[in-house]
């Protein structure tokens, strides 16, 4: 998504523009480069799938709380539907990709959230509960938007015979990109009626979540858990 050169950028576009370098850094992460090339190790992909499934459950909770805070009925429907979709996708991971890539239900149940996943999910849930509605929505936007744009990029350059092609194909869903446009429109509407202090807080929330998106992918590539020297 980009603003027309003849118009003033929307608030959501200003969020994107302010974090363009962070998005490019996310694209350049080894995980995403190797996923597109089809050279990502199976161990790293399994690690990512398990943590993504954990993440989606918490993301669904954050979306549900945000739906309850909405200032109109349309927002309730928008974020309640997104919460439902997050949980549906999480279940499809178990029924499809995890089975196909050799992750058993027992393996998933025995694998705790990594430090990166714990940080990201805790941030989203706590922000949804404690922050004003516009700030909570801004914190949720990077998961929609960055994920969609990284996915679009990977899909466009995915290698022939990529073993992860079924996963890559999920990135191309027009339904998902339509959801991104809807959340951007909500962010713009809320920003139009917000104080300067709230708009500043929305910028901070978006950037914090975008950083945690970066950290999530980086952690998956390193198969990072909690520091080994930390007492159990």
Domains and CATH numbers, the chain: 11-222 (1.20.910.10)
Q: Which two tokens stand for residue 53?
A: 């499934």
pLDDT tens digits, residue range 58-69?
Answer: 999 999 999 999
Within 8 A by CB and 6+ apart from 202, the residues are: 11, 15, 134, 135, 137, 138, 187, 190, 191, 194
| Phi, psi for 43 (deg, rounded to 5) | -65, -40
pLDDT given for residue 229 in this prediction: 65
pLDDT tens digits, residue range 117-133?
Answer: 999 999 999 999 999 99
Q: Is the pLDDT of residue 6 over 60?
A: no
Q: Is 182 left (phi over 0), alpha (psi -120 to 50) or beta?
A: alpha
Over residues 15-24, the mean pLDDT reads 97
Ranking 59-68, 70-79, 82-91, 124-133 by mean pLDDT, the lowest is 82-91
Share of the chain above pLDDT 90, in %: 73
pTM equals 0.91
Ranking 68-72, 164-168, 220-224 by mean pLDDT, the lowest is 164-168
Q: Which two tokens stand for residue 155?
A: 């899909």
Q: Is the dihedral of CA 95, 137, 45, 158 positive or negative?
A: positive
């Amino acid at each position: 998504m980009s603003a027309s050169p003849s118009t003033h950028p929307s608030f959501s576009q200003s969020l994107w523009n302010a974090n363009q370098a962070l998005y490019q850094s996310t694209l350049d992460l080894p995980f995403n480069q190797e996923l597109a090339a089809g050279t990502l190790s199976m161990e790293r992909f399994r690690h990512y799938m398990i943590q993504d499934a954990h993440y989606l459950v918490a993301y669904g909770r954050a979306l549900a709380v945000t739906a309850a805070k909405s200032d109109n009925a349309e927002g309730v429907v928008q974020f309640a539907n997104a919460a439902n979709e997050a949980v549906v996708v999480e279940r499809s991971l178990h029924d499809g990709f995890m089975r196909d890539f050799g992750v058993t239900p027992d393996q998933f149940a025995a694998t705790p959230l990594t430090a990166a996943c714990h940080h990201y999910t805790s941030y989203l849930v706590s922000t949804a509960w404690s922050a004003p509605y516009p700030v909570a929505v801004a914190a949720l936007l990077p998961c929609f938007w960055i994920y969609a744009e990284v996915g679009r990029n990977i899909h466009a350059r995915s290698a022939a015979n990529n073993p992860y092609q079924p996963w890559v194909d999920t990135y191309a869903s027009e339904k998902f990109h339509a959801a991104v446009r809807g959340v951007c429109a909500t962010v713009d509407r809320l920003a139009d009626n917000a104080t300067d202090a709230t708009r500043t807080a929305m910028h901070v929330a978006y950037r914090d979540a975008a950083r945690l998106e970066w950290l999530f992918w980086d952690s998956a590539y390193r198969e990072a858990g909690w520091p080994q020297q930390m007492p159990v």
